[in-house]
Amino acid sequence: MRFRKFTSSFDTEDRLSITIDDIARPLSSIQSSFEGGKVPSEFVAPLTKFAERYGGGSFSSLFAEGKSARQKQKLVEEFGSVLYSMETEEVKNEETFLIWRDACRDIIDWGLKVDFMLDHLKQAARDFFGYMLRPSGSESSCREIIQMEEAISQLRKKLLHLEQKLGEAREDLHLRLGDDISSDSMSCILGSSWVPQSRASRGLY
C-alpha cells in the first residue's frame, strides 16, 4: 500500500535532497515584530496562532534551556517558515510532508520542543491519502458512514454502562435473596407484576 510505504519512509532517518527553501513562496520584504525580534510579516499570523495553542501565548516554554536570544530568534523564524508553508502550500504529493518533516526535525534538534509536529504531519498525510483514494462524488456517503460509526460508538459506550449497572443490580438482588436462588426463581421474581392489591383475575378481562 502506498500509504504504508510512505509511513515507513517517514520514520526513517533518510533526508530528501530538496528542502523547504525549494518550495517556499516569495516573501515580501516587510519585517514585523514577534517575540522580541523581527520575522517576515507573513509568519506572524501562523506563529501567533501556534503560540496561543501550544505555548500559552508565547514560545518561551517551547525553547530548550540554554538558548541565547539570537538562537531563539532564529528558531522562531525557521519554524515560522514551516508553519507558513503548511498554511499556504497546496499538497499535491506525499513528498511535501517529507520536506516539512526534515525541517521540523532540524528545528527540534536545534532546541524547539515541538516533537508533536511529526505526529501531526503523519496524520495530515493520512488525511491526504484518504482524500486521494476517495471516489469522486462519495463525500456525502463518507460523512454518513462517519456519523453512523460515531453514533454506534456512543451507543456501545451507553450499552457498556447499562450492562455494568445491570450487573450491579443483579448482584444486589442475589445478596438479598441468598446464593441458593435458582435461575427459574430469579426469572419468576423479575417477571412478576403482582402487587399487594392484586387479584387472580388481573389481566384476564
Show the cell assigned to 62: 517551547
> What is the distance between the alpha carbons of residues 167 and 182, in angstroms, rounded to a whole number?
17
Share of the chain above pLDDT 90, in %: 71
* Chain segment 29-47, per-residue pLDDT in tens: 999 999 989 999 999 999 9
Say whether pLDDT at 1 is over 80: no
Distance CA 108, CA 89 (A): 22
| Reduced DSSP (H G I as helix, E B as strand, rest coil) percent helix, strand, coil of the chain, to 5 | 65, 5, 30
Residue 67 has a pLDDT of 93
Per-residue pLDDT, 174: 86
What does the pLDDT read at residue 148? 95
Residue type, 75: L
17's CB contacts (< 8 A; 6+ apart) are none
In whole angstroms, how far apart are CA 153 and each of 37, 113, 126, 165? 48, 35, 22, 19
- pLDDT band, very low/low/confident/very high, at 138 (cuts 50, 70, 90): confident
Specify the 3-state DSSP secondary structure of 52.
Answer: helix
Which of 53, 18, 48 has its CA nearest to residue 32? 48
Confidence class for position 16, pLDDT limits 50, 70, 90: very high
Name the most confidently modeled range: 8-17, 152-161, 190-199: 152-161
